[in-house]
Structure 1
Amino acid sequence: MQKILITGANGFVGSRFVERWRNEFEILAPSHAELDITDAQAVERYVILNSPQVILHLAALSNTWYCEQHPDESYRVNVEGVRNLAAAAARNGVKFVFFSSDQVYNGNCESGPLSEDVAVAPETVYGRHKLEAEQRALELCPTAVALRVTWMYDVERAGMPVHANFVLNIAKAIKERTSLVLPVREYRGITWVRDIVEYLPATFNLAGGVYNYGAGCTMDTYETACCYCEMLVGLQSGPLLHPDYERYPNHERNLSMSTDKIFRASGGAICFGSTMDGLRIFAELNPCVVT
């Protein structure tokens, strides 16, 4: 049984990974007190002592507003933490897979689904730190796999944390009969975390590099929300959703990603559908979300 060291095991993705795969892998899930990723020596000791075959790094400071206000803390966790894990993985022959973010594309002026090789110049602290983490990790550990993940969603599940997300925001608005204002100049994939978790073991076999990871989307965020509302119960979105034409006045915010590279590299094993495909399946399997 393959032994995996997972950081962030109590988080949104990590807790769901452990629940899904705990019988398929030997999972090491240290708390922050047991493993401080910002301490390079502690990381090295832990890896040597426990001999994992894969490090799956999911822990991060992912609140973009918080990172803007606390850039030094963001750098320690989101850059130095990745660097420490990558260095330990390289020295000990361990496969290293970690989450980057679609936020590295925040600031890109190109349209359409973006490939991994487009020029990027992130406008946020979080995006810049994620990009630097990719670069540092691959310099130290060329076999590392950086996954640029999309925005994710799920409902509350026993023992698993959940945060504000696309689906819950809409469900809250429906239940409370409030309105949502959503941008029409933003394009981004939104992925059910179940799919993110399901494909993760296949990433352990990928060649080193950067990969887009998550559902595709060619619709703007407002349009996506309208389609989702109509899908739920034939709900008319007019009274609920309102378009925001003012956000991103200088250029469209395009975080929409192509996943052709990871599909080919995995021999078709990693095959994300569209955002709407995922939302449709989610709605069918979770009918109580808005009832």
Structure 2
Amino acid sequence: MLSTLIYCINAVVPVFVIIALGKLLSVKGGLGADFFKKLNRLVYLFLIPAILFESIYSADLYSSFDSGLILFIAAATVAAFLLAFILGKSLIKDKRKAASFTQGCFKGNYMFLAVPILGNLLGSEEMGKIMMAAPFIVIINNILAVLLFDFFGCKDGCAHKSFLMRLLDILWGLVKNPFILSVIIALPFPLLGIKLPQLIIKPISYIADVSTTVALIGIGGVFYFDRLKRDFKIIFSSALVKTLIAPLASVLIAIAIGLRGTQLAIITLAMAAPAATNSYSVAITLGGDGDVAAGSVLMSTALSLITIVIFTAALKYLGLF
């Protein structure tokens, strides 16, 4: 058991060490909020799309695409959304806070945090399957987000728009999403057996090699602990649902229906990953409470350091992946 725990700690903790480095650079390194804002935009627009493109380009799609896995993650995400929606609507009077609470319960940081941990756990040979889940997770998270904030009401900036128009805006945003675009661009190459020349694919590989590290530094750089002071109970409850309750239920169901190995590992990290780092920008754009959204990201990331180690160590010890 001890060796399994050490193995999982070695796979998980380094990711959080890099996040801590980002925070250290923001506090002691003279790198201000504007720097990290630009850095995270670089990650979003170029670095993560590069690693997505490279992974899909080099993957065996016929063995990497797993419809059952994607359907399970989609169903589990919707279930977490419904649970959080009911809790938020029933227990939180302020609709803006209830909306941000709900978002923090279901919308996870798959690309920036789950993917590097899965890479450490499963190895590079499984990166194709790990990455194939990403665009579907992005799509379902964003569609659920617009439904969520529409129900709870949105701010003046979008109040004049009908629900259909807001949904169309989200769908158009998905079409333009750099993650999804990179997958769409990459798909024809493995499907048709097309190979790019080295002078093109090599630079993409170089960019992909640094993308995870830079992304994690960017996450650490925008963490501000003062955001936890207000609405602590709401923030902690949201983080608890995201990092413990929802993933535990999902993992138990997955085990019960016979899912094992890579499938179970991806499900575990997809559901146990902390709240997505763009939760704050989505919340303030669509009418939620920005402080609750930002606090949920911070609290869930801190809790996930513990819960992800426990989940992975327990499942590894039981021989389930």
Q: TM-score, normalised by structure 1?
A: 0.26
Which one scores higher on RCO, CA 8 angstroms, separation ≥ 6? Answer: 2
More helix by share: 2
Tell me the TM-score normalised to structure 2 length.
Answer: 0.25
Quick check: which one's strand share is greater? 1
